[in-house]
Amino acid sequence: MKIEQYLDPWIDGSDVKSFRSVLKFTQSFPTDNNFLEFREKIKAFSTRPPFCVPYHHKIFDSISVPIEAAYLYDAVMIYARALTEALEKNEDPSNGTKILNKILNRSYHSIKGYDVFMDQNGDAEGNFTVVSLLDDKEVDSNLRMSMQPVGYFQYILNGSIMSALPEFRYFNTSRPIQWIGGNIPKVEPKCGFNGEKCVYKVDWRMVAGIIMLSSILFVGGLFAFKHYRYEQKLACLLWKIDMRDVTIIPIDVTVSPNKSMIPVCRHNVFQSSLQQSIQDESEISPKRAYTSIGIYRGNIVAIKYIHKRTVDLTRSIRKELKQIREIRHENLIPFVGASVDHGQVAILTAYAARGSLEDVLANEDLHLDTMFVSSLVSDLLKGMIYLHDSEIISHGNLRSSNCLIDSRWVLEISDFGLHEFKSGQEDPNFALKEMRRMLWRAPELLRMQSPPERGTQKGDVYSFGIVLYEIIGRSGPWGDVAMEATAIIKEVVKENPDVPFRPSLEGLRVPKYIINCLKACWNEYPEQRPDIRYVRVRLKEMQAGLKPNIFDNMLSIMEKYAYNLEGLVQERTNQLTEEKKKTDALLYRMLPRSVADALKKGEKVEAESFECVTIYFSDIVGFTELSAVSTPLQVIDLLNDLYTLFDSIISHYDVYKVETIGDAYMVVSGLPIRNGNRHAGEIASMALHLLKKIQKFEIKHKPGDVFKLRIGIHSGHVVAGVVGLKMPRYCLFGDTVNTASRMESSGEPSKVHISYATYKLLQQLGGYICEDRGVVNIKGKGEMYTYWLLGEDPGKRLSRLKEELAGSKLFNSISSERISQSDLLYPPSEYVYNRENLIFNGSNRYSPASISKLHQRAKQAYCSEKTIQHGCRRYGSAVSQRRLRPSIHNVLQDNPRSAPTITFTSNNEFS
């Protein structure tokens, strides 16, 4: 702030705010003329001794005499007055107390121009002025304020008593202090500067009172609010539906369900737009839509028309509608809304797709098993319990037509509540309907002149009993009683407590507890009827082992069924596998495994050329003569025994039985799995084995007679393949087959006749004892050098087998089983013949089982490796590659017992 501003008597507008609250309490300026003279005298005396203040006109003219000079003057004057008085009275002037007594409690006239009183303590108050900021004059159209004296203090004389303290007085009451806010500020805050004046003592009674009062106010407020809300809800008619928003589905009155009294509604035509809004069209299949239905906001609703022109929406009706709108339970039909306008009074509820319980029970095609019955009863009880616990309190019209079944077979109770809304209908069928309703009504209600609209809970229990009877009896609410409804009602109304008239329980085949429950529900005395909760407890057994709703039950049945089905499928699969094994076994007996497998896979089996195989033919000497003296059955028996024996023997060798033609037996080795040149040895050993066994074979119908075998063996090239589509057979073709057959036919009884080719192979293998037969003229072949096979050396065969197996993987894998030297011996020595007299050797060191086992392994080894090929004359491998030319060729033309066979020959082979 600049110095000029300090000197400026006006307070600038910006400083006004800060000075508005300032009150200056200051000495009043002396007003007495003597004081001016006094000031001048002081100035004059101050230049004189003893003060000797040097005179300077500028200083003396401008300087003001301090007020303290007046105080000093007054003090000297008071003392002088007292001293004068003391001297006048000849008192001791040095007695200070006396002097002081003349000063105290006295007033004096101050040089400042006014009287001042000095009290007994020596305190003298001066004259004070209060200076405050007041409006002054306008400067530049702004109202300026300046510090101006506003008031002074004055002792007030009240009668003869002077006030103890001076009081404040305005100089000019029209110019008072301009207080901020217009009021004098408080001397101190209400609670003192430190809150010390507001320390209250807690009054507990008051506190408790306040709390109680506020709680009462709160609860009251809450109730009031709730009531307000309730009234609001009542008033806002959320249930109200305009029938113009409902699309009524057209009905066909020509079709009616079983019950005649209820108007039958049926939809037949659906506009496409309607169909779109219906999620499941099947839900309203014609035969199930037994009531008026429509579509409201995309949902199908059942419409129950109330025979009234209008409904006066009284508070109690609105209350009813609100109640029913708020009720929600799985087993109570959901309320959609009600229409009261346009002369159409109707109640809209959710549509239950399967109609009422009455409709379901009347449908004879529908078999309701225990699970269904118990689920329906349980749903009904759950719904009734909820209803009895709700604001609705009781149903009053419980009957099977008011138990609806939805698409999921859940029972939902309908037509409860809204009694006042429905009352006063002008229904032309009212009497008829009412008569029917009475069939379910409890006797005590029937006896009343005007029973309560909502019935009673015990009355509902009675009605439940009748519905339960309907469910289990399935012959209506009163069974097959041959009485009119009116007659029945008359009987029920009669007071006959000992034998009240009730539906007949005869012939009902249900557990005892249900019968007892029925009887309890329709007890004549309402107070003796169980309440609905207890009915549920009594019927709990019905639900035993069942799930709470029918869908869960059905699911669990399906689960069980699926589980059983799995077991069944497993069982059938096992049977199939068994059958397949049997079929495979049969197939493998008829065809070589590799061929059978290929055929099973649907692959084509190509004819295959084998460079060297050994073929065995045998014939029973004298069989034709024996057949002639035997019956056909005996012959068949004989052949069966014989071939069973043969088949069991050949299973010990790596051979394949091609066929049997009468008593002729054809075996080959070296195909379809090649076995090097071992085939000659396999056939030779087998021939010796068979020869030995036939000697002991007994002809059942000719005891004592023995057979003799004639055996022929030849080795060479053959072609093998499957012929025919029906009963396919694996056949061998080629000259080797003919030659082998010729070897047999030109042989001798009990001898093994072998060709030179076979002999050479046996020589290579070693261990076979052969004898020259010399040159023999073979029919169709000319002269051939042939041999008799007499026996074999088992040691040689053993070492050969060991050698061959040692090279095979299979042998390596089984070597750990420590096959003994003796196991490998093959064939058993009992088949070795003495060269001269063909006598059995007699040594029997090796068990046939172990040899058979070994042999099987050797066979497998060959099957898996198929590589060993040596010792055979190679018949030009090109043959196997070439296409074979089919020709019909009777390979055994000269043998009347052989059947003609289709053979394939290569161009070279027979040229």
Ligand X SMILES: Nc1nc2c(ncn2[C@@H]2O[C@H](COP(=O)(O)OP(=O)(O)OP(=O)(O)O)[C@@H](O)[C@H]2O)c(=O)[nH]1
Q: Determine if 419 is a binding residue for ligand X (CB under 6 A).
A: no
Q: Which of 402, 614, 685, 758 binds ligand X (CB under 6 A)?
A: 402
Asked whether the beta carbons of 144 and 126 are under 8 A apart, the reply is: no
CB of 407 to ligand X, least distance (A): 10
Burial class (CB in 10 A: 0-12, 13-18, 19+), 540: exposed
In angstroms, the CA 692 to CA 695 distance is 6
- One character per residue 307-346, x = contact with ligand X (rule: CB under 6 A): ----------------------------------------
Nearer to Mg ion, 437 or 593 (CB): 437
Stretch 86-145 residues interacting with Mg ion (CB under 5 A): none
DSSP of 53-108: PPP-HHHHHHPPPPHHHHHHHHHHHHHHHHHHHHHHTT--TT-HHHHHHTTTTEEE
Q: Determine if 435 is a binding residue for ligand X (CB under 6 A).
A: no
Q: Which of 74, 415, 619, 735 binds Mg ion (CB under 5 A)?
A: 415
Stretch 668-697 residues interacting with ligand X (CB under 6 A): none
Is the link from the previous residue into 672 a cis peptide, with omega within 30 of 0? yes
Q: Determine if 304 is a binding residue for ligand X (CB under 6 A).
A: yes
Nearer to Mg ion, 259 or 702 (CB): 259
Task: Pick the stretch among 115-123, 287-295, 361-369, 688-696 that binds ligand X (CB under 6 A).
Answer: 287-295
Q: In sequence order, which ranges of 501-631 are alpha helices (DSSP H)?
A: 512-521, 532-538, 550-590, 593-600, 623-628
Burial class (CB in 10 A: 0-12, 13-18, 19+), 363: middle
Q: Determine if 404 is a binding residue for ligand X (CB under 6 A).
A: yes
Nearer to ligand X, 404 or 754 (CB): 404
Nearer to ligand X, 28 or 363 (CB): 363
Which DSSP state fits 484? -
Is the link from the previous residue into 827 a cis peptide, with omega within 30 of 0? yes
Nearer to ligand X, 423 or 867 (CB): 423
522 binds, among Mg ion, ligand X, none (CB under 5 to 8 A by kind): none
Q: Determine if 106 is a binding residue for ligand X (CB under 6 A).
A: no
CA torsion sign for 413, 417, 418, 424 is positive
CB of 399 to Mg ion, least distance (A): 8
Is residue 549 left, alpha or beta, with left meaning phi > 0 and alpha meaning psi from -120 to 50? beta
Nearer to ligand X, 356 or 829 (CB): 356
Q: Which of 262, 493, 661, 699 binds ligand X (CB under 6 A)?
A: 262
Q: Which of 241, 251, 311, 352 binds ligand X (CB under 6 A)?
A: 352
Is residue 182 left, alpha or beta, with left meaning phi > 0 and alpha meaning psi from -120 to 50? left
Long-range interactions of 290-293: CB distance < 8 A, separation 24+: 290/257, 290/262, 290/264, 290/265, 290/355, 290/356, 290/359, 291/262, 291/265, 292/248, 292/251, 292/263, 292/265, 293/248, 293/249, 293/265, 293/267, 293/351
Task: Pick the stretch among 86-94, 201-209, 355-363, 720-728 that binds ligand X (CB under 6 A).
Answer: 355-363
291 binds, among Mg ion, ligand X, none (CB under 5 to 8 A by kind): ligand X
Q: Nearest 5 degrees, angle CA 207-CA 208-CA 213?
A: 100
Nearer to ligand X, 477 or 794 (CB): 477
Q: Determine if 295 is a binding residue for ligand X (CB under 6 A).
A: no
| 716 strand-pairing partners | 613
Q: Determine if 359 is a binding residue for ligand X (CB under 6 A).
A: yes
In angstroms, the CA 636 to CA 830 distance is 30
682 binds, among Mg ion, ligand X, none (CB under 5 to 8 A by kind): none
359 binds, among ligand X, Mg ion, none (CB under 5 to 8 A by kind): ligand X
Q: Which of 394, 402, 829, 898 binds Mg ion (CB under 5 A)?
A: 402
Asked whether the beta carbons of 713 and 684 are under 8 A apart, the reply is: yes
In angstroms, the CA 345 to CA 341 distance is 7
CB of 304 to ligand X, least distance (A): 5
Size of the site for ligand X (CB under 6 A): 20
* Nearest residue to Mg ion, by Cβ distance, number only: 415
Nearer to ligand X, 290 or 478 (CB): 290
Per the document, the length of the chain is 911
In angstroms, the CA 153 to CA 535 distance is 100
Which one, of 666, 676, 573, lies nearest residue 895 by Cα?
666
In angstroms, the CA 586 to CA 580 distance is 10
Q: Determine if 463 is a binding residue for ligand X (CB under 6 A).
A: no
Q: Which of 267, 288, 536, 652 binds ligand X (CB under 6 A)?
A: 288
Q: Determine if 355 is a binding residue for ligand X (CB under 6 A).
A: yes
Q: Which of 132, 331, 356, 786 binds ligand X (CB under 6 A)?
A: 356
CB of 231 to ligand X, least distance (A): 31
Task: Pick the stretch among 47-55, 395-403, 477-485, 525-533 that binds Mg ion (CB under 5 A).
Answer: 395-403
Stretch 547-586 residues interacting with ligand X (CB under 6 A): none
Task: Pick the stretch among 401-409, 537-545, 780-788, 847-855 that binds Mg ion (CB under 5 A).
Answer: 401-409
CB of 296 to ligand X, least distance (A): 13
Nearer to Mg ion, 415 or 663 (CB): 415
In b/e form, how buried is each residue of 445-480, taking b as 16+ CB within 10 angstroms? beeeeebeebbbbbbbbbbbbbbbbbbbbbbbbbbe
466 binds, among ligand X, Mg ion, none (CB under 5 to 8 A by kind): none
Q: Determine if 291 is a binding residue for ligand X (CB under 6 A).
A: yes
Nearer to ligand X, 36 or 255 (CB): 255
Phi and psi at 787, nearest 5°, equal -140, 160
Distances (CA, A) of 225 to 217, 228, 231, 232, 695: 12, 5, 10, 10, 121
Nearer to ligand X, 435 or 510 (CB): 435
735 binds, among ligand X, Mg ion, none (CB under 5 to 8 A by kind): none
Q: Determine if 397 is a binding residue for ligand X (CB under 6 A).
A: yes
Asked whether the beta carbons of 262 and 284 are under 8 A apart, the reply is: no
Q: Which of 74, 320, 415, 470 binds ligand X (CB under 6 A)?
A: 415
In b/e form, how buried is each residue of 613-648, taking b as 16+ CB within 10 angstroms? bbbbbbbbbebeebbeebeeebbeebbeebeeebee
Nearer to ligand X, 43 or 304 (CB): 304
Q: Determine if 359 is a binding residue for Mg ion (CB under 5 A).
A: no
Nearer to ligand X, 339 or 401 (CB): 401
Distances (CA, A) of 199 to 22, 81, 121, 523: 32, 55, 38, 76
Distances (CA, A) of 908 to 383, 663, 905: 97, 33, 8
Nearer to ligand X, 243 or 711 (CB): 243
712 binds, among ligand X, Mg ion, none (CB under 5 to 8 A by kind): none
Size of the site for Mg ion (CB under 5 A): 2
Q: In sequence order, which ranges of 746-808 are alpha helices (DSSP H)?
A: 756-765, 794-806
Q: Which of 437, 693, 781, 800 binds ligand X (CB under 6 A)?
A: 437
Task: Pick the stretch among 97-105, 148-156, 354-362, 512-520 that binds ligand X (CB under 6 A).
Answer: 354-362
Nearer to ligand X, 132 or 397 (CB): 397
In angstroms, the CA 568 to CA 222 distance is 68
In angstroms, the CA 659 to CA 482 distance is 85
**Dihedral in degrees, nearest 10, Cα atoms 230, 232, 238, 242:** 140
Cβ-based neighbour number of residue 903 at 10 Å = 24
304 binds, among ligand X, Mg ion, none (CB under 5 to 8 A by kind): ligand X
Asked whether the beta carbons of 775 and 783 are under 8 A apart, the reply is: yes
Where on the chain is the footprint of Mg ion (CB under 5 A)? 402, 415
Where on the chain is the footprint of ligand X (CB under 6 A)? 262, 288-291, 302, 304, 351-352, 355-356, 358-359, 397, 401-402, 404, 414-415, 437
